[in-house]
Amino acid sequence: KAGVTQTPRYLIKTRGQQVTLSCSPISGHRSVSWYQQTPGQGLQFLFEYFSETQRNKGNFPGRFSGRQFSNSRSEMNVSTLELGDSALYLCASSLGQTGDTQYFGPGTRLTVL
């Protein structure tokens, strides 16, 4: 079974630009969660989508948004990029029930200059 895939793997943007990241979950998984990982803050939850609906959201500004398509693929968008948005962005998929294991993709390394 193929794992979680994320594209692109690396991105370099400048301040003020916007960026869209993509995530394809494991086949059959309906939940996709997004996380930001930085050396200082560690892994932090951004939001979760289940059946095309945002089910939960972490404590991030509105510049961070996402969506999920009918095939469970998900995209995350960050508008008006700031230097502090430089991070490894990870998505994880699961079946979507409470306590289900989340399986992570390889991540997208975003660098904001």
Q: How far is the CB of 44 from another protein (least distance, A)?
A: 8
The single-letter DSSP state of residue 85 is G
- Bin 62: left if φ > 0, else alpha if -120 < ψ < 50, else beta: alpha
Q: How many helices (H) and strands (E) does the chain have?
A: 0, 11
Residues 71-110 contacting another protein, CB under 8 A = 88, 90, 92, 96-107, 109
Closer of 6 and 112 to another protein (Cβ): 6
Q: How far is the CB of 16 from another protein (least distance, A)?
A: 27
Which is nearest to 108 in space by CA: 6, 40, 14, 15?
A: 6
Task: Measure CA of the first residue to CA of the last residue in the chain; give whole Å.
Answer: 37
Tell me the residue type at 18.
Answer: Q
Q: Is 45 in the site for another protein (CB under 8 A)?
A: yes
- Residues that bind another protein (rule: CB under 8 A) add up to a total of 32
Q: Of residues 7, 17, 18, 43, which one binds another protein by CB under 8 A?
A: 43
Q: How far is the CB of 34 from another protein (least distance, A)?
A: 8
Q: Of residues 33, 68, 72, 74, which one binds another protein by CB under 8 A?
A: 33
